[in-house]
Amino acid sequence: MRERAPRVLGLMTGTSVDGIDAALLELPGWPAVGKGIAMGHPPQLSGPAPRLKVLEHVHTPFTDDLRAALLRACRNDAATSDLTQLHFRLGEALAGAAAELSADADLIASHGQTVFHIPRVDSSHGWHTRSTLQIGEAACIAERTGKPVIADFRPADLVAGGQAAPLVPFADRIMYAESGVRRSVHNLGGISNLSYLPGLSEAGVVAFDTGPANALIDEAASRSGLRYDEGGRMAQSGTVDAGLVDAWMQGAYLTLPPPKSTGREHWNLNMLRGWEHLSTADLSATVTAFSARSIVDAYTRFVLPLGLDEVVVAGGGAYNPLLMRLLRGGLDPVPVLTFEDLGWNSCAREAAAFAVLGYYAYQGWRNTLPRTTGARHAVIAGKLSRPWLGEQDPEPAPVDQT
């Protein structure tokens, strides 16, 4: 009887802090979960993209109070006791989001919620130690689902000298790289990041966080009690303050060469200056223009000189017509497509990516690209939480006390 293809459930809570994406990924032709170590290395890439199949995708929105608590943690406004409770509270929420799809999974991979990310020392902000923190206790997921869980992916790369981000490009190459196509897979989440894939080889992959995407746009919308600027309508009703955009574009991060990574701890309204006099509509218009311009500038500096055939966009920003129009105008004549234009699922992209990373970790295979994170070497990123399956523990061996 032919063995069923392995299935891994990926769980993702991103920098938009809007909810949990659960994607059940099937890996046709790949070794069963737990049987890869004997092979020594994974199969070689072949065939059209995407090579792996998203069977199902479910989005579970955060409740208003959980989202507010997570945003407080991201803003450094959570007490230690609050953060401790939030770690387990989110773990239970992740377990709940996994419940619908976990029965068909052999393994679960959970990214968790990044609440603070310090890839570079910055004494001006009191950041003296390179560090990163993702919360959402994996033991909660393992206990509730009865499945092994790989989580906490970022620390291994950080201690190997990397920035612990971006990690998704490793999976992007496996899923979306194509021979003879110079493609950028771009995510417009809270933070904007790209994976430049110049064919199947990993040697030419370039990946980094360009800066903000939806983080500032969502924060501006929250001034009117909204979670986000649906359809970019608020921004379209306002006027861009071009002088502010010019001033913000002088920020040091935007000119840093890759590898580089960033997060909400840097891209929030408290870290910017000069917007306080703007109406909410004008602020929305201005931060949308800034996000788009910073992305176009990143391509102009670091990607277009390499040669680029197309940009394929995933994430919530792909549904913002104004942001997409600004990107298309700034990158013309390079086509800017969405995942849906190609028949792919943009909402499942990052959850599916961490399913790939979790599968590799469980198999004992390295799952990072040092050239995209700046690490000294590749690592096996992720930690394993095993479920209790009801077996009786064996009798302990007697201790030789001689």
Position 397 scores a pLDDT of: 63
Same CATH fold assignment for domains 7-163+349-385 and 169-342: yes
Question: What are the sequence ranges of the domains in the chain?
Answer: 7-163+349-385, 169-342
Give the 3-state secondary structure of residue 58. Answer: strand
Q: Which helix (H) or strand (E) holds 218?
A: helix 215-222
Fold of 169-342: Nucleotidyltransferase; domain 5 (3.30.420)
Residue 135 has pLDDT above 50, yes or no: yes
pLDDT tens track for 233-291: 999 999 999 999 999 999 999 999 999 989 888 899 999 999 999 999 999 999 999 99
Q: How many CB atoms lie within 10 A of CB 89?
A: 19
pTM: 0.90
Position 29 scores a pLDDT of: 85
Residue 36 has pLDDT above 90, yes or no: no
Residue type at 27?
A: L
CB 110 within 8 A of CB 149: yes
Residue 100 has pLDDT above 80, yes or no: yes
307 pLDDT tier (thresholds 50, 70, 90): very high
Position 178 scores a pLDDT of: 93
Residue 39 has pLDDT above 60, yes or no: no
31 pLDDT tier (thresholds 50, 70, 90): confident
Tell me what the mean pLDDT of segment 366-389 comes to: 95
Position 391 scores a pLDDT of: 64
Report the CATH number of the 7-163+349-385 domain: 3.30.420.40
The tokens for 295 are: 């992305």
Position 392 scores a pLDDT of: 58
Tell me what the mean pLDDT of segment 210-226 comes to: 93
Position 186 scores a pLDDT of: 97
Residue 143 has pLDDT above 50, yes or no: yes
Q: Which helix (H) or strand (E) holds 280?
A: helix 280-302
CA proximity to 26, closest of 57, 54, 59, 58: 54
346 pLDDT tier (thresholds 50, 70, 90): confident
Residue 1 has pLDDT above 50, yes or no: no
Q: How many CB atoms lie within 10 A of CB 79?
A: 10
Position 37 scores a pLDDT of: 57
pLDDT tens track for 171-193: 999 999 999 999 999 999 999 99
The tokens for 261 are: 């990574």
